[in-house]
Structures are given as structure tokens and as C-alpha cells.
Amino acid sequence: MEDKIEHAKELIEDAVRNYPRIAVACSFGKDSMVTVHLAKEVDPNIKVFSVMTQYHPRETFDYLKLMDKKMNLGITVYMVADSVPEALKDGSLEVRLLPTEEFNQEASQIETETGNRIYAINPDECCQLLKVEPTKVAVSSLDAWITGLRNTEGITRVDFKEIEEKGGLIKINPILTFTEAEIWRYIATRGIEPHPWYGKGYRSLGCAPCSNPGEEVERGGRWKGTSKCGGECGIHTQRLK
Ligand code: SF4
């Protein structure tokens, strides 16, 4: 595992050297916390951003605030919302609000037609508007971004590479070969406090309606019961620039 850690740091070091306009994406799941910890060890001033949605649980907002302070992340949050959620109102946090019209229109049309919520009927569209589009804004001024993708998380992540390029945007995946057990070992040995939902049996975290605990496959609880089960929100599969 020490070899993997050294290799991850080398990837980050090279990326920071080659791409001055770089940032780490952080969802505040376990893999993100390892990635930002490694990145901050390489470059304490590296930028960190997070895309949050109105459907993330209160615990994630509280955890974000806590870890932003503890790890000195200096995080910028991007969010489709009219106002900053109560839980994120904190003078130390930068929250960039993005327009809500398109999402509200889509969501209310689906609710009117089906009597159900957009994430249950069309999770792809929900993720597109609440996650992918805000991520495009977050990376618009970057040459490269660093993520916590891992090959063994699920079938959709097997083929990702450590360094990727789409539309001129470089993506670095420094912990790609870490196993789930290695992630937990890193977290334990570095004294990183994990998101409280891991104590409830969750193995992969996202928005509350689309995350479920107790699955045999690591990402099996994501979008459970939909055609998107165990899949991707789109930020790692689509061109963002
Ligand atoms: S994870 Fe679920 S609630 Fe969150 S943006 Fe995607 S479909 Fe919507």
C-alpha cells in the first residue's frame, strides 16, 4: 500500500507542476477524503471544489463544514439553488449558487405528469442538471482536475485510467488502484474522521434518495431500483469542456 501512496503523490506532484490551473473534486465520501488528504500533503494550497445538491443529506453538509475546517480545505461549493442552505451558512465557506430555472421546470413537469419525483423517474436528467452542469462550471477555468475514482468500486469504473483527457481537460485519478480496504486503512492511519453514514452501513455516498446501505457491490446502493443502479452520475463519463 505504501507503494500506491507514493505513486499517487507522484501523480499529483506531476499534475500540479504541469497544470497550474488545477483543483481537486471532493464529494466528501471516503475516496474523496483520501484524495484531498494526499493532494494537500503534496500542495497545501491546492484548490478544492465540491458539487452539492438540494438532495444531499444534512449530515453531508455538516460533515463538509467540519472537514473544511479540520483539513483546511478552503472549499468552493457549487450548487443549483436559489439560496445557500441553512446548514452551509458559514462565513468561511464559499458557495456559488447556480440558476435553478431549468431544473425546477423539469422537476415540476415530471411531478405533474407522474406524481413522482424527478430522481425516481429520470435520474439521468436529475444528475445532469444538478451534478454534471455544475461540474462543468467548476472546471471551466481549469486545465486539470483530480478525482477519487477507483477501479474496484463497480463495473462502470473498471476501465478508467490514471490520467485521462476529454475536450482538452485533463483528469488525474491518483487512487485508481486502491482497494476499498486500503482506503479505510489510509483513513484510519491518518486519523481522518469519516462521514457518519459509513457507520450506518453505506459503502458509497451521494444524494439521500439515491444512496442505500448494505449492498454487496460497493456502488450497488447508488440509484437502487432504477436503470441507473450502481452506475454513474455523468461527471466521469461526459465531456465537461
Ligand atoms: S444522485 Fe439522485 S438526487 Fe442526486 S442529482 Fe442524481 S438523480 Fe438527482
| Pairing relationship of beta strands 169-172 and 163-166 according to DSSP bridges | antiparallel
Query: Which amino acid would we find at residue 171?
Result: K
Cα–Cα distance, 204 to 91 (Å, whole number):
29
In Å, how far are 36, 88, 90, 151, 166 from 173, measured between CA atoms? 12, 28, 30, 10, 14
Which parts of the chain are beta strand (E)?
22-25, 47-52, 76-80, 94-98, 144-146, 163-166, 169-172
Burial environment of residue 96 by CB neighbours within 10 A (0 to 12, 13 to 18, 19 or more): middle
- Predicted confidence at residue 241, as pLDDT, reads 93
- Assigned C-alpha cell, 166: 476529454
Instruction: Specify the ligand 1 atom closest to the Cα of 56.
Output: 4
CA of 188 to the centre of ligand 1 (A): 29
Neighbours of 4 (CB within 10 A): 16
Q: C-alpha distances in angstroms, 72 versus 35, 125, 202, 218, 231?
A: 14, 34, 26, 29, 31
Q: What is the pLDDT along the chain (241 residues), one digit of tens a residue?
A: 899 999 999 999 999 999 999 999 999 999 999 999 999 999 999 999 999 999 999 999 999 999 999 999 999 999 999 999 999 997 789 999 999 999 999 999 999 999 999 999 999 999 999 999 999 999 999 999 999 999 998 889 899 999 999 999 999 999 999 999 999 999 999 999 999 999 999 998 999 999 989 778 888 888 898 888 888 889 999 999 9
- 2-210 classified as CATH 3.40.50.300: no
Report which residue type is found at 84. Answer: V
DSSP, res 199 = G
Measured in whole angstroms, how far is the alpha carbon of residue 54 from the centre of its chain? 14
- ∠ Cα 86 60 222 (to 5°): 130
70's grid cell: 479540520
> Which atom, in ligand 1's list, is nearest to the CA of 119?
7
Give the Cα separation of 119 and 99 in Å (integer): 19
Helix (H) or strand (E) holding 40: helix 30-42
- The residue nearest atom 7 of ligand 1, judged by CA position, is 123
* 92 CA from centroid of ligand 1 (Å): 27
Q: Which residues form the pocket of ligand 1, taking CB atoms under 6 Å from any ligand atom?
A: 53, 55, 119, 123, 126-127, 130-131, 206-207, 209-210, 233
Which among 144, 166, 100 is positioned nearest to 12, based on CA atoms?
Answer: 144
**Atom of ligand 1 minimally distant from the CA of 233:** 6
Report which ligand 1 atom has the smallest distance to the Cα of 55: 3
**Residue 94 pLDDT:** 95
> Which residue has the CA at smallest separation from atom 6 of ligand 1?
127
State the pLDDT at residue 169: 97
Residue with cell 457549487: 78
Specify whether the backbone of 206 is left (phi greater than 0), alpha (psi in -120 to 50) or beta.
beta
What letter represents residue 68's amino acid? Answer: D
What is the model's pTM? 0.95
State residue 84's pLDDT score: 94
